Structure 1
Amino acid sequence: MSNQSPQPASPPRALRWAVAGSVVVMIAAGGLFYYASQLAAAKRQVNHNEIAVTIHAHSCEPNALTVPAGRASFRIINRSDRAVEWEILDGVLVVEERENIAPGLSQVINANLLPGDYAITCGLLSNPRGTLHVTPTAESDAQAKAKPSMVAFIGPLSEFRVYLSSQGGALIKAVAALDQAIEAADLNQAQALYVPAREAYQRLAPASQRLAELDNAINARADYFEKREQDPAFSGFHRIEYALFQQRSTDGLTPIAQRLLTDVTTLKQQLLAQSLPPEQLVSILVRNLNSLADVRAASGEEERYSHIDLNGFAANLDVTRKVLDLMRPLLTKSAADLLPGIDSALTALDAELNGLKVDNRYTAYDSVTADQRKQIADKAKALAVALDGIDPALGLSGLQ
């Protein structure tokens, strides 16, 4: 009888199913990888017109740009060793900016640019400025010829000028009181008076931040100076804040406070001298709220020595509410569907800030939790998005 070799045992059914399942998983994973790679490629294609600008310690590369009129995207890459900002300036006015770009990271600035020549800032305030030349296009020429009348916006713009005048006067008065306390070397009084002075400034901040040079003199943080707090050029509110709350001293502050008083007086004059295009009545608020949402709420860097950030956020909301009230009749007539969303977002942010009051005073920001800060940021972003719908709804960018 012949010996038959034993037949190999067939694998158990569970093992066969496991192998089949592994194959299916591998195929699915491959499909997901392909989808993700295609999605990433699509995103790169959408952003293929991004203009890369690299910020080094003391310069930008490139530092001279030319783009066609219309929407332009700039990817700002920070190769320096500190957080920096990049701005597009039209004379002394800020057209668009991105703050707090962390070392080694990049952020995108999207700007809708009219034909003309602009300046660009590059990191530290002492760094040389670059140039941005925007060439006209057929579309920009057609838009310039087809712009509608702005008669309907004369009222809101005029009322906003009255508001700027009133708040500018309040700022001058508050800084004068702060100056007197510093001259008297009264630390406790100076600390107390710093708060209303900052609140007064923050009600003007969306408009004043258009005036790049002057606003830097008034409000630049130590980060934007080469030697930070020890830099001789470091002045304005935050130099005073550093002395009062970090060093707890008024020594040497008198000339700085006097210069601040001069600068805020000039600020009021320049705010009233500058014309404000209709689209910027809303866009300055959106930019300010985006700054709150993207940077200031999470970091607490704006008032890092005094921790009165919430007072500033509430003051920013005050001016937002004022502009919305001025625009409400126009919105009711031409874009009433926007109002419920805007009002809801404004109320939500207001409630979030009011919930952080103790004995009718805002709590110090260093005691605000990360989750609470995120809630503030999310609600500020929601309000910015809601307000951003006003321009296309009313055609603000097409007015002259």
Structure 2
Amino acid sequence: MNPPHPPSPRRIRRTRRVLAAAAVLTVATAVTATVIVAGSGSGSSLAGADDAKDANGAADGLRHTAVEVSTGTCGRGWSRPQAGTQVFDLHNASSTASEVDLTDPRTGRIYGEVEGLAPGTTRPMTVDLGSGSYAFKCLQDDADAVTGPTVVVAGTRPQGPAAAPVNQHDLIPPTLAYQKWVGQRIGELAAGTGTLEADIDRGDLAAARRDWLTAHLVYERMGAAYDTFGDADATINGTAARTPGAVGDPGFAGFHRIEYGLWHGEAAASLRTPAAALDSAVRTLRDGWPEQRMDPAAMGLRAHEIVENAEQFELTARTDYGSGTNLAAARANLDGTRAILDQLRGLLAPRDAGLARLDAALDRAQAALDAQQHGGAWTPVARLPHAQRQRINADFGDLLEQLAPVAAIFEVRRTA
């Protein structure tokens, strides 16, 4: 007996955090009063003996300052602030886990964050301090948020990267707009699977191969909605286990089941049932979509996941069942990434100084894929010249780095 077919790869979520690549956000302080520091980084006359060790550089060559985290002593330990890149070693002195943000107390912009700081543990926060106001905010489990004293770095030195926090309410309008866009695509998808079924019913497999790709690419553009699709995703776009005979598993269904048959010489009669099942699943999804609700808090992360999954499954041809169209699918995935970024752009533009670099990275990745389409046919991944395959992989790697700040910016943070 063949093993059960795995879920659609689009529902496999990798657990590594993307926040680290979102640029080192800056830091804030706490003492018992406001401290003003010269923009040149000179020490303050208010410094105490407890901060003498701050001047000592660590092995990384950066200035380190020990900062205490608790509801009663949030930010204690920093009394000689200075500008520049440095490290705050945050120690959780409480009995519960904590999140620590470095904020501008006037605007709420976040310059640095550490999450999941366990009791009794110490973790570093690397920041680039420019001229401005800073305060540590300690958000401990089952307790109100506490903001420590404000520290002011005087002068004209530019501040490091920061982002105004985004709340759930901010994300509702773009989420609803994107959900409406997905509904329109599902309508296109239903028309496409209906055409594909009709091709197969009349035995026109040449037309079926053409129309299979058209419909499949519509589905590949909707990546941010796959989790909301639930079990329908596996039914529509599931894959077979990578074991001998797994493609014969009755649970192997949807686009890839039909792809396997169309490009492995199966007769039209053997594909009629899978084609009808695919069309039925799509129409059920279309009819129920108005009742679905996407999670606004996941919108920024989905933009990153679409490209991550394209890199993992399309650029490796792990989801090729004969058509050799993985690069076309990856290209459709880029369209899907643009679609969600278009809805988020109004919130993203004032928060992401690297937005132009992100747009350029998308353009490069798109151009690299478009170059592999020749007269309507796509180069299979296995036939890519080595240099071109490396170029495409590098472009997607760069794009993932540029998308990491988007996931960080749109993470809904606790504020109270």
Q: Same fold (TM over 0.5)?
A: yes
Partner of 2:340: 323
- Distance in 2, matches of 1:315 and 1:356, equals 13
Relative to structure 1, is the Cα distance of residues 320 and 348 closer, same or farther in structure 2, using a 3 angstrom cutoff?
same
* 1:247-286 CA distance string (max 9 Å, x none): 2431221121111011112233455433222232121221
Q: Give how far 1:214 is off.
A: 1.8
Read off the aligned partner of 1:174 and give its amino acid letter. Answer: G
Work out the number of aligned pairs and report it. 281
Alpha-carbon distance in structure 2 between the residues aligned to 1:183 and 1:58: 30
Pairing 1:303-382 to 2, within 5 Å after superposition: 303-333=320-350, 335-359=351-375, 361-382=377-398
Pair 1:266–1:86, CA change in 2 (3 A): closer
By relative contact order (CA 8 Å, sep 6+), the higher-ranking structure is: 2
Query: What whole-Å deviation, never above 9, does each CA across 1:215-263 have from its counterpart, x for those lacking one?
Result: 1111122226884112122111111111111124312211211110111
Shift of 1:288: 2.1
* Amino acid aligned to 1:328: R
**CA-atom RMSD in angstroms:** 3.7
Residues 60-97 of structure 1 show CA distances to partners (whole Å, capped at 9, x for unaligned) of xxxxxxxxxxxxxxxxxxxxxxx97899xxxxx95x63
Q: 2:325 is aligned with what amino acid? A: I
1:110 equivalent to 2:110? Answer no
Q: 1:268 aligns with which of 286, 294, 303?
A: 286
Identical positions, percent: 23
**Equivalent in 3, 6, 13 of residue 97 of structure 1:** 13
Aligned positions of 1:53-202 closer than 5 A: 97-98=13-14, 109-110=15-16, 139=140, 141=142, 149-202=167-220
User: Residue type matched to 1:278 in 2?
Assistant: P
Distance 1:295 1:243, change over 3 A: closer
In 1, are the aligned partners of 2:264 and 2:322 still within 8 Å (CA)?
yes
Paired with 1:144 and 1:189, the residues of 2 have a C-alpha distance of 61
Give the structure-2-normalised TM-score.
0.59
- Structure 1 position 216 matched with structure 2 position 216: no
Superposition map of 1:21-36 within 5 A: none
In 2: Cα distance, 1:85 partner to 1:216 partner: 5
Structure 2: segments with no counterpart, 5+ residues: 19-118, 120-138, 148-164
The answer to whether the Cα contact below 8 Å between 2:177 and 2:343 also exists between their aligned partners in 1 is yes
Note closer, same or farther for the CA distance 1:293–1:188 as it changes in structure 2 (3 Å cut): same
Q: 1:301 aligns with which of 306, 318, 340?
A: 318
Over 3 Å counting, the alpha-carbon distance change for 1:170 and 1:278 in structure 2 is: same
Whole-Å separation in 1 of the counterparts to 2:272 and 2:312? 34
Which residue identity is paired with 2:384?
V
